[in-house]
Each structure stands twice: as C-alpha cells, then as structure tokens.
Amino acid sequence: MNNINVFSQKLAEFPIIAILRGVKPGEIKDVCSVLDNGGFTLAEVPLNSPDALESIRVMSAQFNQGGRLMIGAGTVLSEEDAVNAAEAGARYIISPDSNPLVIRKTKELGLVSIPGFMTPTEGFSAIRAGADYLKCFPCGKLGSGHIKDLKAVIKKPIFAVGGVSASNLAEFLSIADGVGIGSELYKPGKSIAEIKAAVQAFVTSFATCKKR
C-alpha cells in the first residue's frame, strides 16, 4: 500500500498529528510509545529539533514496520531536507510554507506532501504543485472560522495547526480534516507522566467529538 493510502487510513482512524518539536533521539522511543499506546497514529519530528534525522531513523525502525504510528518530518524547507528526511524513513513531509520545489520533490520521492498556507493564493499554488493536504498555519488567533472560509473555495483536506487544544478540539475538527498538536502534547522537559496525561486528554476529547 502506498504512503498516501496509508496516511489517509491513519488520519481517518485518529485525525491528530503529534508534533514533537525539540525531541531528542535518546527520548524518542519512550515518547512515541506513549503516543502509540494511547491511540495516536501520526507523529512528526520537525527538522529544527536536535539531531532530528536520527530521531526519525529511530522512530522509523520501531514503528514503520509495525505498530500504529506513521512517521513524518516537519519544518522541511528545501529539496535537500525532503531527500534527507525520506532517507531517514519519513513517510510524509510537512512544511510551514508552500514551496513548490519541496512539494514536487516530496511527490517524486513517493511521500505525502503537506505544505503550510494561510491564504487562498498560497493554497492554490500548493495544490497546483501537487500537494496532497494543506496545513493552515498558524490558525490559533484566526480560529476555525478562517478555515471554514478557506474551505468555501479550497477542496483539498486542511489541517489546523497552532492554537489547537483538547478543549477546542471539537470546534476545529468540526471544520478541519485534521489537526497538528505541538506543545500541548510534547515540549522539552515534559515528563512521560505529563505526556501520558496530555495524550489521554486528547483521546478523550476526540471520543467526545465522535459521539456528537
């Protein structure tokens, strides 16, 4: 099964990407085991994390051949970044911007492309370059209403990233096709117990969303 099909299945199962910004290779197994055991299906390591490619290699070795988590790379800003992430085992590429070169390289590599955008112009440029999904970032201050307005003209699935919490998850998922969660789940210095509690909060919140 190709990466886009696997990703879409993972997204349908649990539409939250865990953004592990700042994670280190020495803690990645423990952090991802908490996510995997809690029910998360998607996790990314931003490339501006310490030794990010090594963390992706460790995650890929542990989870890509079995287990629930599908591993991706974030903050991918260049074609070289995309190639390096793919070689480390990332199966989807997320960026804060809509760089056509990165999008095209991602698709050449057979990976899922999720560039960042804020306006219709950026969104349509990303779609023309071959993006599979779009990441509305940052959307916290603009709220779910901004995504609703964008979806009036943009028909690609949209992730909401920035400002999403367990308390407003239902609001965003009523409009967006998925969300990305960073410091609410993980940030450097957070204990495994704290990460477990955060994971459970999001799992519980999502369960409530499904009942509505």
Token pair for residue 57?
A: 């290699």
C-beta of residue 48 within 8 angstroms of C-beta of residue 75: yes
Q: Which of 10, 44, 105, 107 is catalytic?
A: 44
Q: Based on the residue annotation, tell me whether 156 is a catalytic residue of this protein.
A: no
Q: β-strand 70-74 against 134-136: which pairing, if any?
A: unpaired
Q: Which of 10, 107, 135, 151 is catalytic?
A: 135
CA 207/CA 212 separation, integer angstroms? 9
C-beta of residue 133 within 8 angstroms of C-beta of residue 157: yes
Beta bridge partners of 134: 158
C-beta of residue 144 within 8 angstroms of C-beta of residue 173: no
Handedness of CA 94, 97, 103, 106 (dihedral sign): negative
Q: First CA to last CA across the chain, in angstroms?
A: 32
Q: Based on the residue annotation, tell me whether 44 is a catalytic residue of this protein.
A: yes
What positions carry a catalytic annotation?
44, 135
